[in-house]
Structure 1
Amino acid sequence: MDQYEKVEKIGEGTYGVVYKARDRLTNEMIALKKIRLEQEDEGVPSTAIREIFLHPGFSGILSLATLASADEAEHGLPCPIYPWPHKGILSSYDHASIRRGHQVYQQVCASCHSMSLVSYRDLVGVAYTEEETKAMVAEVEVVDGPNDEGEMFTRPGKLSDRFPQPYPNEQAARFANGGAYPPDLSIITKARHNGQNYVFALLTGYCDPPAGVLIPDTSNARRDDDDGAEFRP
């Protein structure tokens, strides 16, 4: 891709962005299309292949490259592609792993991160039995109301309740985290470039800072490349 220089964006659709570009070798003006992929290992969609073959300038196309949802220059080093056991056509999520993941969320992540789209009933038959889930949620106090007198009140949780929020609003969350807003984890792998591969690489990538990089005492550093670091409060 270093052979081409982007001039301007000339179009955008659901699955890609089209740029006007210049070939650095021939000085010819061409069109480049960046294809948005949810996962880098999915390959080029068949609709994109058909579009290329129907293009009047197909005979001049030299190569076809699979582009991720953003350039490496925009996202740093590409993260590894891991052999997830649930990625096969007939594969499914391991219930024991989901249970461990929920326990980690409760004990560690829930103090900062919300999961506002997940209800306790979503855990039934997936990570816990119905009896286990009911016992768990009964220990949670939920603010409800208003009652007949117009006042809010607390009650024991029910299966239909969503997971509790760690902060009452965004301002409180930012104040408690040095200005950063902890993202909601409900669909975090859908909302990040390269999905679960990115999230796993992020969580396991914390290390000693590179030589010459000063890390504030209130932050943790994660390896991003040889010249910098990514911080979290």
Structure 2
Amino acid sequence: MSSAPKIALISAVTAAIGPAQDALAAAFPQAQVWNLLDDRLLSDADARGGLDADLRSRMNGLIGYALAGGADGVLLTCSLYGPVAQAFAADLPVLAPDEAAFADLAEAGHRRILVVASFAAAKDDSAARLRDALGADGAEVTGIAVPEAMAATKAGDAEGLVTALIGACRPLAAEVDAVFLAQYSLAPAGDRLQEALGVPVVSGPASSAAALRRSIAPEPS
């Protein structure tokens, strides 16, 4: 491995790239980021009613391309294709978007987790996958959709995103032990949301960046 580990980010939308890059810069600053974008991944999946064999093969091809190009680790930023990453056999880390975040939530032992997304389908999908990851003895998982957050991210309004998430989550803060931000585009608000709510806020970008650093460049013992 070179002195600057190369991390390939495979994305379906540009909005996910910035949060993933920022998280790597914070947790794994020595990493060199390589962005691979296929902006038809979501629309093609939607047209086909979900992932089919061709789309899985296409994502496998992107992962293989990244590894063949010298990536020391791969992070998918689109949760729809997460199962492809988890099924990919490689000697190097290939992470699904929420894989590390779910592991962090499980390890912390939170019993009441609020899943936050900008639209209902993302909220429902992430909550279901989190319940599966936690297993039968896992936490109570609830969810909330915040449409104002989608409007803010589309407008590039960072302050509006923070305001929308705090406003939606604050009434529920006393009922939960942790918050999970279900989309990478919401992650930039994580620190301020945690400060406002007084409970841990976990996001895919931050957890994934930390997991990649631990796997590729662990701290000396």
TM-score, normalized by length of structure 2? Answer: 0.25
TM-score, normalized by length of structure 1? Answer: 0.24
Q: Which has the higher contact order (CA 8 A, sep 6+)?
A: 2
Structure possessing the higher radius of gyration over alpha carbons: 1
Q: Which has the higher helix share?
A: 2
